[in-house]
Amino acid sequence: MDQDEIAWAERFAEQWSKPPPPRGYGPGHFADVAAVWREAQQQSSTPTRAVQERFKVSYSTAAHWVVRARKMGLLPPSAKGTPKVTKKAAKKKGRSR
């Protein structure tokens, strides 16, 4: 091996000896989630559903992202005590259309 090949091999070995970067999404992603959520809330839309549609993920994933954005201080605390009325619950109470 000549000196160039040895130097290349050393750089290659050094690069692969480092641990991989952490998996997951960074603060910028959750700032985007918060922006989509806020915009949807201002338009009297369903904010978590807007996050779901914008990022093309399941509703559950969108809800987890919203919770994480809240924990990061990017969104206000949720309004506790305001139950969401589902179609099934509305039917039970006779409120269906």
Question: 35-77, pLDDT tens digit by residue?
Answer: 999 999 999 889 999 999 999 999 999 999 999 999 999 999 8
% of the chain beyond a pLDDT of 90: 48
Mean pLDDT within 81-86: 52
63 within some domain = yes
Determine the pLDDT at residue 15.
Answer: 67
Structural domains counted in the chain: 1
Q: Does 14 have pLDDT greater than 80?
A: no
Q: Check the CA dihedral 44-47-53-54 and report its sign.
A: positive
97 within some domain = no
Instruction: Count the Cβ atoms, other than its own, within 10 Å of residue 50.
Output: 19
41 within some domain = yes
40 within some domain = yes
Of the segments 15-19, 73-77, 85-89, 92-96, which one has the largest average pLDDT value? 73-77
2 within some domain = no
Q: How far apart are CA 7 and CA 11, in angstroms?
A: 6
6 within some domain = no
Helix axes 47-55, 27-42, angle to 10 degrees: 130
In the block, residue with structure tokens 């990061």 = 72
39 within some domain = yes
Domain that holds residue 29: 25-74
